[in-house]
């Protein structure tokens, strides 16, 4: 059963956003016992949810911005829920939107976060061709809104920008590093280049501790269902359980450097712990094609991918990023960050998780399948 949502967010009893949770209820008057306060945009997304896990485990007080939606959109952070009336709650959610600067200024001013992780974005590359203006506004200008809010509010927050390997696009160098020139191939990539340079510019102009994490693809069981890895792991589970017969995909030749998301959010945190801000590539330094992912994922459950994968040109992009492979040597040297989960294990983790979800759903509904039997 779903919990009532209103008590999960940082609202006081009159429904106003709490300026400071310590002013409320049993927390009133208590000294700030937490290490640091962080604000996460995009907390309901894959990375935001893992980052919230990580920061809470480190003792942070975590605030997240969520969008008002007509359906529940907090499934990835529901496990972190605690009733806001209980003493010691450290996760607070606030309504907001990257298109609404006044709200962002108010939130940042009232929260005075030590660290801001800006992960919110329209993050789907294919979709960015359908809604380019919206993507530019949210994924691009949204970053300037946060940076300006930091200046306007006069806070000393450290800032993390979720930059992307999509900025390399038509790659000018193999592997890609922090100095490889950008050549974005989608409205999403263009918006991310804007945000990257905005971050650099605010660092240089105003001395902000503002860093870019140039992250290559990172996946997990919490990955959105329309990204190709999760689309594959879900379909493998459903086909194995006899619920589907085919999976429609676009370009199977594209190559990506795929890592494991929980490891990448640790890298974000490390960037903000450095004395000086900087820009860092996080990647595995391995590249694999979509076809290889399909082969491994189907093969893991004893199926031949060629019997199930069909082509649908709707999933092709007007311009493709053919090859991504990152060199994370700088992150290794300066942050002591290095990925441990490699491609075959990532595929297994994702397929196992989707099989588990399906089996759990089937046992709740009493449905049997060959796999569940």
**Contact footprint for ligand NAP (CB under 6 A):** 41-42, 44-48, 65, 67, 69, 73, 97-99, 119-123, 138, 162, 164, 215, 217-218, 224
User: From the list ligand F7E, ligand NAP, none, which binds 126 (C-beta under 5 to 8 Å, kind-based)?
Assistant: ligand F7E
Between 10 and 259, name the residue whose CB sits nearer to ligand F7E.
259
- DSSP assignments along 304-335, one per residue: -GGGTEEE-GGGS-SS---B--B--HHHHHHH
Q: How far is the CB of 217 from ligand F7E (least distance, A)?
A: 4
Check 24, 117, 188, 196 and give the catalytic one: 188
- Residue with nearest beta carbon to ligand NAP: 45
- Counting contacts by CB under 6 A, is residue 165 touching ligand F7E? yes
Between 96 and 239, name the residue whose CB sits nearer to ligand NAP.
96
User: In 110-138, which positions are buried (b, 16+ CB within 10 angstroms) versus exposed (e)?
Assistant: bbebbbbbbbbbbbbbbbbeeebeebbbb
Output the six-digit token pair for 3. 């919990």
- Counting contacts by CB under 6 A, is residue 233 touching ligand F7E? no
Between 18 and 162, name the residue whose CB sits nearer to ligand NAP.
162
Output the six-digit token pair for 256. 């990506």
User: From the list ligand F7E, ligand NAP, none, which binds 317 (C-beta under 5 to 8 Å, kind-based)?
Assistant: ligand F7E
Output the six-digit token pair for 365. 């509904």
What is the C-alpha separation between 309 and 306, in angstroms, rounded? 6
Q: How far is the CB of 195 from ligand F7E (least distance, A)?
A: 11
User: From the list ligand NAP, ligand F7E, none, which binds 315 (C-beta under 5 to 8 Å, kind-based)?
Assistant: ligand F7E
Among candidate residues 332, 291, 201, 269, the one with its CA nearest the CA of residue 51: 269
Beta strands in 32-189 (DSSP E): 37-41, 61-66, 91-95, 115-118, 158-164
Binding piece for ligand F7E, criterion CB under 6 A, among 22-30, 88-96, 223-231, 342-350: 223-231
Asked about 211 being catalytic, the answer comes back as: no
Q: How far is the CB of 368 from ligand NAP (least distance, A)?
A: 33
Question: Bridge partners of 11?
Answer: 17
- Counting contacts by CB under 6 A, is residue 317 touching ligand F7E? yes
Output the six-digit token pair for 347. 């595929």
Asked about 117 being catalytic, the answer comes back as: no
Q: Residue 117: helix, strand or coil by DSSP?
A: strand
Between 157 and 195, name the residue whose CB sits nearer to ligand F7E.
195
- Counting contacts by CB under 6 A, is residue 205 touching ligand F7E? no
- DSSP assignments along 178-240, one per residue: TTSPP---SHHHHHHHHHHHHHHHHHHHH---EEEEEEPPEE-TTS-TTSHHHHHHHHHHHHH
What is the H or E stretch that residue 269 is in? helix 261-273
**What is the rounded end-to-end Cα distance, in angstroms, of the chain?**
27
Among candidate residues 64, 42, 71, the one with its CA nearest the CA of residue 138: 42
Q: Which one of residues 61, 114, 115, 166 is an interface residue with ligand F7E (CB under 6 A)?
A: 166
User: From the list ligand F7E, ligand NAP, none, which binds 45 (C-beta under 5 to 8 Å, kind-based)?
Assistant: ligand NAP
Write the interaction track for ligand F7E spanning residues 320-339; mark x where CB under 6 A is met and - where it is not: x-------------------
- Counting contacts by CB under 6 A, is residue 135 touching ligand F7E? no
Q: How far is the CB of 228 from ligand NAP (least distance, A)?
A: 11
Give, to the nearest 10 degrees, the angle between helix 46-57 and helix 261-273. 60
User: From the list ligand NAP, ligand F7E, none, which binds 44 (C-beta under 5 to 8 Å, kind-based)?
Assistant: ligand NAP
- Counting contacts by CB under 6 A, is residue 249 touching ligand F7E? yes
Asked about 196 being catalytic, the answer comes back as: no
Contact 284, 343 (CB under 8 A): yes
What is the C-alpha separation between 147 and 207, in angstroms, rounded? 12
Q: Which stretches of the chain bind ligand F7E, using CB under 6 A?
A: 123, 125-126, 164-166, 216-217, 226-229, 231, 249-251, 254, 256, 290, 315, 317, 320
> Which positions are annotated as active-site residues?
164, 166, 188
């Amino acid at each position: 059963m779903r919990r009532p949502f209103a008590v999960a967010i940082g609202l006081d009893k009159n429904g106003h956003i709490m300026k400071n949770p310590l002013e409320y209820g049993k927390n009133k008057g208590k000294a700030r016992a937490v290490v640091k306060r962080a604000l996460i945009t995009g907390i309901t997304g894959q990375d935001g949810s893992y980052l919230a896990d990580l920061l809470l485990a480190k003792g942070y007080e975590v605030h997240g911005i969520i969008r008002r939606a007509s359906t529940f959109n907090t499934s990835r952070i529901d496990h972190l829920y605690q009733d806001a009336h209980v003493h010691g709650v450290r996760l607070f959610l606030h309504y907001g939107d990257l298109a609404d600067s006044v709200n962002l200024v108010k939130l940042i001013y009232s929260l005075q976060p030590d660290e801001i992780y800006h992960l919110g974005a329209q993050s789907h590359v294919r979709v960015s061709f359908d809604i380019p203006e919206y993507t530019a506004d949210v994924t691009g200008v949204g970053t300037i809104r946060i940076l300006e809010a930091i200046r306007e509010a006069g806070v000393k927050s450290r800032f993390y920008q979720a930059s992307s390997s999509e900025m390399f696009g038509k790659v000018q160098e193999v592997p890609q590093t922090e100095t490889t020139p950008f050549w974005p191939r989608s409205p999403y990539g263009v918006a991310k280049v804007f945000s990257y340079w905005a971050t650099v510019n605010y660092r240089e102009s105003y001395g902000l501790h503002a860093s870019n994490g140039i992250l290559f693809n990172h996946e997990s069981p919490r990955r959105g269902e329309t990204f190709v890895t999760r689309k594959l792991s879900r379909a493998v589970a459903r086909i194995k359980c006899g619920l589907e017969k085919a999976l429609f995909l676009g370009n199977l030749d594209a190559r990506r450097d795929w890592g494991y998301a929980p490891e990448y959010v640790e890298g974000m945190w490390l960037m903000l712990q450095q004395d000086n801000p900087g820009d860092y590539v996080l990647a595995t330094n391995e590249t694999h094609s979509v076809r290889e992912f399909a082969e491994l994922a189907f093969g893991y459950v004893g199926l031949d991918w060629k019997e199930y994968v069909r082509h649908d040109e709707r999933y092709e992009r007007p311009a493709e990023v053919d090859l991504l492979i990152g060199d994370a040597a700088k992150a290794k040297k300066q942050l002591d960050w290095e990925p441990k989960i490699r491609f075959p294990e990532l595929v297994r983790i994702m397929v196992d998780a989707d099989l588990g979800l399906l089996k759990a759903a089937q046992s709740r509904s009493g449905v049997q399948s060959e796999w569940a039997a």
